[in-house]
């Protein structure tokens, strides 16, 4: 997975499948300090994900305060052509207006990611 250093943040692109539809999401910050993958709601508009009163809201505490997010489960999340994770939970919510979300520690650990900052890429360790 190719990475880009911009504004002192590491950015990547992922593909998310939800209820049979796929969207490519760029401007995702790779964040080892984030517990979970969080996606900006406006990015998900073309997938038809609607927020409803029945949604469960989860509260997280971060460096800059308290955040409320809605949890959903994807069909798959593709981090790289050779790294597709099935049935992955993600959260819907705004992290910062200038980014489309966070690639959190949950996906990095499940994919056995090795972040190579010299090469600006993530390598995924295959199961031994």
Q: What is the DSSP string of 62-124?
A: ETTEEEEEEEEE-SEEEEETTEEEES-EEEE--S-TT-SEEE-HHHHHHTTEEEETTTTEEEE
- 17-75 pLDDT, tens per residue? 999 999 999 999 999 989 899 999 999 988 888 778 888 888 887 777 788 899 999 99
Q: Is residue 31 classed as helix, strand or coil in its secondary structure?
A: coil
Tell me the pairing of strands 121-124 and 101-103.
Answer: unpaired
For residue 44, which of 60, 21, 67 has the smallest C-alpha distance? 21
Mean pLDDT to the nearest integer, 114-119: 97
In order of their start, the domains of the chain are 4-124 (2.40.70.10)
């Amino acid at each position: 997975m190719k990475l880009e250093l911009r504004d002192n943040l590491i950015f990547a692109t992922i593909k998310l499948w939800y209820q049979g539809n796929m969207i490519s999401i760029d401007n995702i910050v790779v964040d080892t300090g984030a517990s979970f993958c969080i996606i900006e709601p406006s990015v998900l508009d073309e997938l038809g994900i609607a927020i409803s009163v029945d949604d469960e809201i989860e509260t997280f505490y971060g460096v800059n305060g308290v955040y409320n997010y809605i949890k959903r489960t994807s069909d798959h999340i593709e981090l790289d052509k050779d790294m597709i994770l099935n049935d992955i939970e993600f959260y819907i919510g705004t992290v910062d207006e200038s980014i489309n979300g966070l690639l959190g520690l949950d996906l990095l650990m499940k994919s056995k990611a090795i972040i190579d900052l010299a090469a600006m890429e993530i390598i995924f360790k295959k199961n031994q």
